[in-house]
A and B are shown apart, each in its own frame.
Chain A
Amino acid sequence: MIRPTAGRGNAGTLHFPDVSDLADPLLEVEDLVTSFRTTRGTVHAVDRVSLTVNRGQTLGVVGESGSGKTVLSRSIMGLLPARDVLRSGTVRFAGHDLTAMEPAQLRQVWGAQLSMIFQDPMTALNPVVRIGRQITESLRLHLKMDRKEATATAIELLRSVGIPSPEQRIRSYPFQLSGGMRQRVMIAIALACAPRLVLADEPTTGLDVTVQAQILDLLAAMQQERHMAVILVTHDLGVVAKRADDIAVMYAGRIVERAPTRTLFAHTRMPYTRALMDSIPRLSDPSGTRLRAIGGRPPDLIHPPTGCRFSPRCPYVQDKCREADPPLRTAGSPDHLFACWFPLVDGVPSGPSGSGQPVTLTTNGAPNNAVEAPAS
């Protein structure tokens, strides 16, 4: 599994093979931990997260605001503040360990191999630089284009993301564009150097539904054309339901369920995932249908609850949930992981607590063992 990594201090040109020569997984994150030291205490924003993304695939990362999605994306990119950050774990990308790289090496990777679309395009774009230049800069740096070639490419890119009259638009400043247009420009910048993986952190949150659908379709079309992998981060399971191959659900800094998309929706195990699905209003429900909202709020990441972190809000909580931390494990299908002592089976909790069947569980990699009875 371990491949040669770019060693520390080696600031020479990194070698990235062609996409077709690459092996899967393209991205392999293992036991990633990111904490921030603050005056109030240590914020455990990302806690032992592991995930993989294959070439050309889409992974959806879903969770409420404050669950650690942005910190996870930034940790994968290596875009974290220099001070008061504690981190561990590895991020292997196309055979290179990004966590071991010097800033100079990371800059070779950003944009060219790996790029990010930020939650708020207004703050991510430089407000005093014309959008054309924001695209050509990266083309000239990474693809060594001359000014003329870079400008022509920028115009083509803007056209391909659906910006009308791009020849004029390259001279606009970000504030002269609507929210949807700015997000298109962000996508054009992120895609300029044909990266293999794009991290899109809530690329459509705050945009209206029609623009959202357009931006997501655009991203999907670009992905297909370029055989690019995408990590699509969102708080809305509806956004990834038809767009992701796999979904990882995040709660309080951890991944609590992960499965191929259809499996996740058809055989939801984790009560939190179910609760996220249920809180979305459906057009097909009669007007006035009461929403099944999750009570309370995600926990404070300085003092997360002991045991299962969802236990203070879980409708199926048992004593055992508060005492012991449920590990990520599988039941039946090996690519469906979840962290819950009483996983749902057909919508009802398993074990003596509910009417559902007990499930045979497998701790990741370990042999089968039946679920224990709750302590109560």
Chain B
Amino acid sequence: MTGPAATPGTNAGSAAEAPVMLEVEHLVVEFRSGKERVQAVSDISFEVRTGETLGLVGESGCGKTTTGRALVQVQPATSGSVRFQGQDLGRLSKRELRKTRTRIQMIFQDPISSLNPRRRIRDIVAEPLAIWGTGSAEERAAQVRSMLESVGIDPDTAGDRRPQEFSGGQCQRISIARALMAKPSMLICDEPVSALDVSVQAQILNLLADLKAAFGLTMVFIAHDLAVVKNVSDRVAVMYLGKLVELADSDDLYRSPAHPYTEALMASIPEPDPEHVSTHEPLTGELPSPLNPPSGCRFRTRCPYVQDRCASEEPPLREVSPGHQVACHFPLRQLSPVPERPAATTV
């Protein structure tokens, strides 16, 4: 891959003024099984600006995939809204939605099973064109060739083969090529590297950075490893049991995490350095069941700093510094100074 040496973090400054591409407000997604109701996503709000990469990080089962699926409307929202370029996706007619959906594409965690095993690579990649594209057969074939080349797959040797003949990393390249054929403005990547080993992971992360620059993409990048998420994202949203608990610029989040959960996530990363000393205890226990989430702060059952108030009162998401939000009664970082009260309160 010879694309420009994109560095996705460098546009953080300009992205702050860029127009909002995707706006999520009070999103709730519920699953019903029999009499039980599971809230996989519980009232989350965030926005993604044109040209930025927003990372979404959290443990298995916290609702990342469900959020991603709700963004592309494969998963209907129970309440709340998802606005894409100003359009409320939940209010579009089926036809309008299908058209808009091509502009938001999603790639998945398990690269091999997300590709149809019976189809040839060139047909898999051409799928979006077959559905939407006009143009002659030759034009489409040429587009498939050039897309395969830009993801680092040789169209001559690979085009006629089927997914099982490829490694996980190659299958992920192929799913990326397929997603980009629709010429999306936004790409949602759900754990695109979690099933790959570290060397292939590095290749795919670099490829995504190159493609982002080459195709002018806006991205939502979902993963459970904060080091991976931080590498590709301008901003990071940390999710815990269906809620957003912290949202900040990547480097700011790393330098001064404000939520105890973020701090614990950082301590879990296996640093490739025998001399590295972790300053925090990693997490103990499992994610509580979303069937019956803890009262107050959902993290309180595992939080090393828990106090009485955490059980009775849910902490709202609020700003600790410009652009840095946290949902915790006792954030690890001081809140920005509250505007001074009028003199009436002083005697």
Contact = CB atoms under 8 A, between A and B. Distances in A.
Q: Do A and B come from one complex?
A: yes
- Report the interface size class on chain B: 35 or more
A37 interface: no
A65 B197 CA distance: 7
A212 interface: yes
Contact of A279 (B12, B59, B195, B202): B202
A293 B270 contact: no
B283 A214 contact: yes
Contacts of B168: 65
Contact of A282 (B197, B227, B234, B267): B227
A236 B270 contact: yes
Interface in B186-215: 194-195, 197-203, 205-206, 209
Given A238-B271, A283-B227, A276 B199 contact: yes
Indicate the member of B10, B61, B231 with the most A CB atoms within 10 Å.
Answer: B231
Contacts of B267: 213
B310 interface: no
Contacts of A284: 254
B7 to A, nearest CB: 4
14 contacts: A65-B168, A180-B60, A206-B195, A208-B60, A241-B270, A241-B274, A241-B276, A242-B270, A265-B275, A281-B227, A283-B226, A287-B254, A288-B9, A292-B202
Nearest to A65: B197
B5 interface: yes
A287 B282 contact: no
A302 to B, nearest CB: 15
Contact of B274 (A213, A214, A261, A291): A261
A235 B231 contact: no
A333 interface: no
Given A209-B269, A241-B270, A276 B227 contact: no
Interface in B135-164: none
Interface string A248-276: 00000000000001100100000000011
Nearest to A272: B199
Given A241-B272, A288-B231, 20 more contacts: A179-B60, A210-B224, A210-B265, A213-B282, A214-B283, A236-B198, A238-B271, A242-B271, A242-B276, A265-B274, A265-B275, A279-B199, A281-B231, A285-B231, A286-B9, A286-B251, A287-B251, A288-B10, A289-B7, A290-B209
Contact of A209 (B233, B265, B272): B265
A209 B268 contact: yes
Interface string B274-315: 111000001110100000000000000000000000000000
A293 B274 contact: no
A109 B7 CA distance: 53
A284 B274 CA distance: 15
Contacts of A207: 60
B40 interface: no
B273 A265 contact: yes
Indicate the member of A178, A213, A284 with the most B CB atoms within 10 Å.
Answer: A213
B164 to A, nearest CB: 15
B271 A241 contact: yes
A43 to B, nearest CB: 15
Contacts of B273: 241, 265
A281 B230 contact: yes
A301 B151 CA distance: 25
